[in-house]
């Protein structure tokens, strides 16, 4: 007799990073792996932040729960940060601190949709978005995330897919997996579409800190009644190199937050207390460190783009930015077998496009934040080697 499993969960593919890691088989003579599989920075948190975390471990009450949406000073500090970064006014009452951005996404979806509903999401998409939606029994209707001529999704493609059971459009910018940064004007068009259809626009901006310039990413928070349409998500994992410490945030209106509180309470009761206090410190004390790290990523991106200029290289860089490069491989094979071969024969670990949605057999995602600029030459060398 076999164990009875929920068919919704069973239908979802096993977590991609874990699967890809299993392809790497250390052999004598292996070179150091170029690990471009997971979107993590290669460096630890700032020294000052590490010291603060150590101090907090000894501070009174940091082992206790906090409010469901996190501690008030952090909600206030994050609202201030977002107000400055997006040149707007965000109220602390609109902030829910969460146990990572994935939890913020899960709670946002659960608050607005149920099994049998549908959402619109450009493909390729972030696999955890797809996994959660599928486990919830929510239908995914996809539009292209890019075309030959336009490197971002178009609101005009989403409009015909909306029906009475559509609950949201989901966008991620800078995008995982393509790295594309969506223009403010297109985000505005998606917002207007969602508003006119009375559905939500869920915007995952986990990689906002790695955009190429300091201009506000969009004007959506300056729209009258933005809270009726927008749920904005963020992660503290990347910019603070705190992925394992688990902290994210949701910005939303009172009706969504009221429902999200029920979900977050059941999931984790509160976000990790020490991490909240650490990020409160980080939001005010680490500006120089963050500026330095943004520059490090800019150099890595420039070096990666340069490596795709290598003569004879038949892999084509389709899109890149923030933490990611999306690459068309030159083989008639499926991207999964190409990625496996790169891992086993060429010591390069990346994810196949097929892990990010339909029609992605020709693509690979390189998450390059984990690899120093000086190693991007090795990237083109190993890709060239795989062509032989």
Ligand X SMILES: Cc1ncc(COP(=O)(O)O)c(C=O)c1O
172 is an interface residue for ligand X by CB under 6 A: yes
Find tokens 């201030």 and name the residue. 80
78 is an interface residue for ligand X by CB under 6 A: no
Between 318 and 357, how does the x/- string for binding to ligand X read (CB under 6 A)? ----------------------------------------
* DSSP element (H, E) containing 327: strand 324-328
Contact with ligand X (CB under 6 A) among 86, 126, 289, 308: 126
* CA distances to 14, 41, 181 from 184, in Å: 35, 26, 9
Question: At closest approach, how far in Å is the CB of 248 from ligand X?
Answer: 4
- Buried b / exposed e over 206-222, threshold 16 CB at 10 Å, is bbbbbbeeeebbbbbbe
Part in contact with ligand X (CB under 6 A); list of ranges 56-64, 98-106, 153-161, 191-199: 98-106
* Comparison of 232 and 237: residue with beta carbon closer to ligand X: 237
101 is an interface residue for ligand X by CB under 6 A: yes
Cβ pair 253, 223 in contact under 8 A: no
Q: How far apart are CA 185 and CA 193, in angstroms?
A: 12
Contact with ligand X (CB under 6 A) among 70, 122, 217, 248: 248
Question: At closest approach, how far in Å is the CB of 260 from ligand X?
Answer: 15
Please state the separation of Cα 170 from the chain's center in Å: 12
* Comparison of 178 and 380: residue with beta carbon closer to ligand X: 178
**Tally of CB atoms within 10 A around 128:** 16
Report which of 262, 213, 205 is spatially closest to residue 239, judged by C-alpha positions.
205
Contact with ligand X (CB under 6 A) among 35, 173, 176, 319: 176
106 is an interface residue for ligand X by CB under 6 A: no
Q: How far apart are CA 11 and CA 19, in angstroms?
A: 16
Tell me the sheet residues that pair with 93: none
Contact with ligand X (CB under 6 A) among 173, 178, 206, 362: 206
Between 26 and 65, how does the x/- string for binding to ligand X read (CB under 6 A)? -------------x--------------------------
Between 261 and 280, how does the x/- string for binding to ligand X read (CB under 6 A)? --------------------
Measure the CA dihedral 259/261/265/271, to 10°. 140
235 is an interface residue for ligand X by CB under 6 A: yes
Residues that bind ligand X (CB under 6 A): 39, 100-102, 126, 172, 176, 204, 206, 235, 237, 243, 248
């Amino acid at each position: 007799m076999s164990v009875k499993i929920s068919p919704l969960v069973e239908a979802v593919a096993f977590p991609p990073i874990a699967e890809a890691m299993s392809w790497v088989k250390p052999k004598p003579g292996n070179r150091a792996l170029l690990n471009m599989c997971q979107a993590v920075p290669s460096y630890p948190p700032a020294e000052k932040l590490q010291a603060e975390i150590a101090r907090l471990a000894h501070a009174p009450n940091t082992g206790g729960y906090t409010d469901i949406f996190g501690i008030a000073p952090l909600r206030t500090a994050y609202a201030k940060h977002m107000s400055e970064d997006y040149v707007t006014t965000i109220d602390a009452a609109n902030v829910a601190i969460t146990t990572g951005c994935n939890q913020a996404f899960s709670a946002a979806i659960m608050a607005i949709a149920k099994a049998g509903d549908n959402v619109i999401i450009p493909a390729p998409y972030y696999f955890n978005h797809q996994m959660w939606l599928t486990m919830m029994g929510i239908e995914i209707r996809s539009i292209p995330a890019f075309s030959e001529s336009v490197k971002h999704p178009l609101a005009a493609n989403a409009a015909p897919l909306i029906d009475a059971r559509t609950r949201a459009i989901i966008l991620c910018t800078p995008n995982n997996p393509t790295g594309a940064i969506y223009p403010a004007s297109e985000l505005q068009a998606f917002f207007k579409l969602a508003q006119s259809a009375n559905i939500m626009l869920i915007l995952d901006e986990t990689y906002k800190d790695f955009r190429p310039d300091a201009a506000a990413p969009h004007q959506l928070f300056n729209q009258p009644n933005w809270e009726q349409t927008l749920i904005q998500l963020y992660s503290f994992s990347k910019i603070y190199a705190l992925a394992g410490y688990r902290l994210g945030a949701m910005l939303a209106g009172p009706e969504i937050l009221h429902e999200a509180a029920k979900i977050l309470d059941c999931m984790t009761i509160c976000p990790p207390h020490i991490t909240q206090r650490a990020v409160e410190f980080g939001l005010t004390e680490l500006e120089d460190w963050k500026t330095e790290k943004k520059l490090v990523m800019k150099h890595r991106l420039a070096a990666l783009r340069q490596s795709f200029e290598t003569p004879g290289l038949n892999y084509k860089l389709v899109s890149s930015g923030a933490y990611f490069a999306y690459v068309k491989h030159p083989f008639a094979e499926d991207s999964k077998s190409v990625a496996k071969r790169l891992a086993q024969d060429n010591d390069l670990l990346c994810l196949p496009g097929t892990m990010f949605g339909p029609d992605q057999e020709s693509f690979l995602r390189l998450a390059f934040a984990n690899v120093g600029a000086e190693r991007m030459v090795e990237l083109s060398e190993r890709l060239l080697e795989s062509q032989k």
